[in-house]
C-alpha cells in the first residue's frame, strides 16, 4: 500500500503558481439615474487587470451628484437609537430646536486641526481654541451630525449631517439583479506552475489545446474538462448555488485547480483538474452577500462632485494546489526498510496474541514449541547400571 499506492518510492515537491484571468461580456441597463448604459469589462470587473481574486458586478445602487454639504440623514438613521445628541432637540417630533450645547460646532474643523473663530451654523456664537474630544457618538456612516433636525420629507424630520449629500439610500436592493447578462459572461484562466526541485514547468493550456479549439470551447466537466474558458453561470451552478439568487446581494465562489503529477511518466500526463465551491453560507441572515462601494469623481461649476456606487457582486477566488513525485533511491530504500521492520513487529504481535490471550493458547504452545529432556551422560548411566546389579 505505502510503496505502490502512496508512491513511497518517490520524492515529493510542492507547487509554485501564478494565475491571470480575462473576462469577456457586455451588459446594458436603462436606469432612471443613468439612462441607457453599456457595461464592459472595465466597468464591472474589479480589479480590471485580472488576478487570482476578482469581483464581477451583478447588481448596484447609484447615488449620483453627491457634493460636500449639509443634508438630512436617511429615514432609517432617524429611528436609530443611541443618538441622543440629535434627539435632544426633539428630532422626529416636529421641532427644529437645536440641543442646548454649542461645542458640537468645533467638531467640524477641529478634526482637521484648524483654528475656529465662530460657530459655522450660528456665527454669533464665538468659540475659543479647538477642543479635541471623542466624536464617535456624533458620526453617522454618511457624515457628521450638526445637532439640528431638518425636514426629511413632508411628514418626517431627521438629523442633519455634514458630508457627501444627498445621503445614500441603500436599503432597497434591486431584485432581480440589474445585470443578469453576467451569467453568460466567460472567464479565461491562465495558470502557470513550477516544481522547483525537479525544474519542471507547466501551463493549464496543455498540448491537446489548439488555437482553434480555444476559440470555440467552453469548459464542461465531462466533454471539455481541459478547456480553460469558463461560463460564469456554469461555475456558479457547479458550486451548488443559484445564480439568480446569488446575483442580487452577491457572494463568493472558489475555483480550485489541482495538479497531482507523477513525473516518472511523460510530462503530457500532468494535467489540471478544476473544481468549484460555494464559500458563503446561503442560509446566513447576518451580513449576507458581498458588496463594496466606490466612487467616480468629477468637477462641475468649480465644485468637486461624485457618483457613488454600492456594488453587489460575485467574488471569485482561484486557489491552486498541487504536488509532484519522482523516483528517488533514498525514499525507496527507506520505505523498503520500514516495510521489513513492520513484518518483524507483526510476527511478535501475532505470537503475543496466540500464546497469551486466545483461548487455545495451550494448544498453540504445544505446536510451536518442542519439549526435550537432556540425555544422561555415560558415567551417570554406568552408575545407574551398578545400582541395579544384584
Rounded to an integer, what distance in angstroms lies between the CA atom of residue 316 and that of residue 274?
A: 14
Q: Is 23 annotated as a binding residue?
A: yes
Quick one: how far is CA 132 from the chain centroid?
40
365 is in an annotated binding site: no
Residue spans of beta strands (DSSP E) within the chain: 10-14, 16-24, 27-31, 35-39, 45-46, 53-72, 139-140, 143-153, 156-165, 186-195, 200-203, 229-231, 251-262, 273-278, 291-300, 303-327
Rounded Cα gap, residues 44 and 40, in angstroms: 6
* Residues 7/325, Cβ–Cβ less than 8 Å: yes
Q: Which residues contact 132 (CB under 8 A, 6 or more apart)?
A: 110
98 assigned ligand-binding residue: no
The answer on whether 381 is annotated among ligand-binding residues is no
Residue 209, all three cell numbers: 489545446
Residue 152: Cβ-neighbour burial (10 angstroms; 0-12, 13-18, 19+): buried
157 is known to lie in a ligand binding site: no
Where do the H-state alpha helices sit in the chain? 41-44, 75-78, 84-87, 106-110, 211-216, 232-238, 243-249, 329-356, 361-368, 378-388
315 has binding-site annotation: no
Three-state secondary structure call for residue 358 = coil
Has 22 been labeled as part of a binding site? Answer: yes
Q: Is 26 annotated as a binding residue?
A: no
- 16 phi and psi, to 5 degrees? -115, 130
Q: Show binding-site residues for ATP.
A: 22-24, 186, 291-293, 310
Q: Show binding-site residues.
A: 22-24, 186, 291-293, 310
Amino acid at each position: 500500500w505505502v510503496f505502490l499506492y502512496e508512491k513511497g518510492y518517490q520524492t515529493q515537491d510542492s507547487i509554485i503558481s501564478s494565475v491571470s484571468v480575462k473576462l469577456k461580456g457586455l451588459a446594458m441597463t436603462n436606469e432612471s439615474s443613468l439612462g441607457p448604459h453599456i457595461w464592459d469589462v472595465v466597468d464591472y470587473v474589479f480589479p480590471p487587470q485580472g488576478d487570482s481574486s476578482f469581483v464581477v458586478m451583478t447588481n448596484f445602487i447609484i447615488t449620483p451628484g453627491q457634493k460636500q454639504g449639509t443634508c438630512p440623514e436617511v429615514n432609517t438613521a432617524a429611528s436609530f437609537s443611541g443618538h441622543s445628541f440629535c434627539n435632544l432637540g426633539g428630532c422626529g417630533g416636529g421641532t427644529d430646536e437645536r440641543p442646548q450645547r454649542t461645542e458640537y460646532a468645533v467638531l467640524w474643523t477641529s478634526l482637521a486641526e484648524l483654528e475656529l473663530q465662530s460657530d459655522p451654523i450660528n456665527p454669533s456664537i464665538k468659540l475659543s481654541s479647538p477642543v479635541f474630544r471623542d466624536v464617535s457618538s456624533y458620526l453617522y456612516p454618511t457624515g457628521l451630525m450638526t445637532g439640528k433636525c431638518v425636514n426629511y420629507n413632508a411628514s418626517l424630520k431627521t438629523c442633519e449631517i455634514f458630508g457627501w449629500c444627498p445621503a445614500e439610500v441603500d436599503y432597497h436592493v434591486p431584485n432581480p439583479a440589474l445585470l443578469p447578462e453576467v451569467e453568460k459572461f466567460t472567464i479565461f484562466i491562465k495558470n502557470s506552475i513550477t516544481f522547483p526541485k525537479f525544474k519542471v514547468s507547466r501551463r493549464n493550456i496543455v498540448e491537446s489545446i489548439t488555437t482553434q479549439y480555444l476559440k470555440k470551447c467552453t469548459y464542461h466537466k465531462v466533454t471539455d474538462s481541459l478547456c480553460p474558458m469558463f461560463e460564469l453561470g456554469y461555475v456558479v451552478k457547479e458550486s451548488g448555488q443559484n445564480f439568480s439568487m446569488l446575483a442580487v446581494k452577491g457572494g463568493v465562489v472558489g475555483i480550485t485547480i489541482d495538479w497531482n503529477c507523477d513525473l516518472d511518466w511523460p510530462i503530457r500526463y500532468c494535467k489540471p483538474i478544476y473544481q468549484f465551491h460555494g464559500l458563503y453560507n446561503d442560509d446566513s441572515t447576518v451580513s449576507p452577500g458581498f458588496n463594496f462601494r466606490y466612487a467616480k469623481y468629477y468637477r462641475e461649476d468649480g465644485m468637486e462632485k461624485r457618483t457613488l456606487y454600492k456594488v453587489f457582486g460575485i467574488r471569485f477566488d482561484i486557489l491552486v494546489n498541487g504536488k509532484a513525485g519522482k523516483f528517488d533511491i533514498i525514499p525507496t530504500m527507506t520505505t523498503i526498510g520500514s516495510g521489513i521492520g513492520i513484518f518483524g513487529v507483526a510476527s511478535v504481535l501475532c505470537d503475543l496474541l496466540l500464546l497469551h490471550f486466545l483461548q487455545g493458547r495451550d494448544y498453540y504452545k504445544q505446536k510451536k514449541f518442542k519439549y526435550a529432556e537432556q540425555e544422561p551422560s555415560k558415567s551417570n548411566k554406568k552408575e545407574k547400571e551398578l545400582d541395579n546389579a544384584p
